Amino acid sequence: MVEVGPRDGLQNESVLLSTSQKLEFIGRVIDAGARRVEAASFVNPKLVPQMADAEAVAAGLPRREGVTFIGLVLNKRGALRALEAGMDELGAVCAASDGFAIRNQGMTSDASLAMCCEVVRLAREHARRAQITISTAFGCPFDGEVDPSRVVEMARLAAGAGPVEIAIADTIGVASPGEVSRLVESVAAAIRPLPVRVHFHNTRNTGLANVWTAVQAGAKIVDASLGGIGGCPFTPRATGNVPTEDVAYMLERSGYQTGLDLDSLVVS
Ligand code: ZN
């Protein structure tokens, strides 16, 4: 599992946390067993003030054996900042729809995919890991329905750049389990042997069902945020990510090992 609370969670909360509060949060999720943490996004601080201290967070990260810190980036400039800041892994984001790509990243969907491939190459040149996330994979707040075949084709092209995984993200929380099952299977087949990662928002309370379905369909990595914090800047009343503690409970009770300690998660 990837803990995205410090990035996707805090980025969408109206309360601004100090750098030291963020670092304490990150330290506690690691204490609870998290081994991959999306710690910050390297984006325009004017647009996302919650992430303005990304470099300071990166400098203060609690380094532990076996823990990887991911820096999310939306363009090459962000990637260079994240590399300079010493992030272990770059999380490059593209969008399956032009409407979202243009609003969120100032570029078309095609251009966002090309940028992601360039970011992966850049990371590899610096001997760092990189991963590509396809946002609005299940629907777009501006363009509406997204053709699943578009997502599969993007995943296939993205895989060619050499990332460690491809993530498909339900950015606004519209996916249903049936759609998740079909898309995860199709993307997995298109990028094999690369693993599929999934990112769900719980806007319509389908989040946990979607996680379960995705895992059954072959997804190997699941994003979640502690306490389900977060939202989406383009969907004002959207609730957050799927809660880490609920996903861990569901998977552990079902016989999967998440590496997370539920008791520690709940008191965190
Ligand atoms: Zn998200």
Give the Å distance between the CA of 8 and the centre of ligand 1: 5
> Which residue in the list 94, 117, 140, 232 is annotated as catalytic?
232
Distances (CA, A) of 194 to 29, 71, 163: 26, 20, 8
Active site residue 232: yes
Residue pLDDT tens, the chain, 268 long: 999 999 998 988 888 899 999 999 999 999 999 999 999 999 999 988 889 999 999 999 999 999 999 999 999 999 999 999 999 999 999 999 999 999 999 999 999 999 999 999 999 999 999 999 999 999 999 999 999 999 999 999 999 999 999 999 999 999 999 999 999 999 999 999 999 999 999 989 999 999 999 999 999 999 999 999 987 666 666 679 999 999 999 999 999 999 999 999 887 5
pTM score of the predicted model? 0.96
Give the Å distance between the CA of 215 and the centre of ligand 1: 18
HSE-CB of 129 using CA atoms within 13 angstroms? 13
- Within 10 A of 149 (CB to CB), how many other CB atoms are there? 10
Give the Å distance between the CA of 233 and the centre of ligand 1: 10
Torsion sign, CA atoms 152, 76, 234, 7: positive
Give the Å distance between the CA of 188 and the centre of ligand 1: 20
Structure confidence at residue 238 (pLDDT) = 66
Give the Å distance between the CA of 83 and the centre of ligand 1: 22
> Tokens at residue 124, please?
């590899």
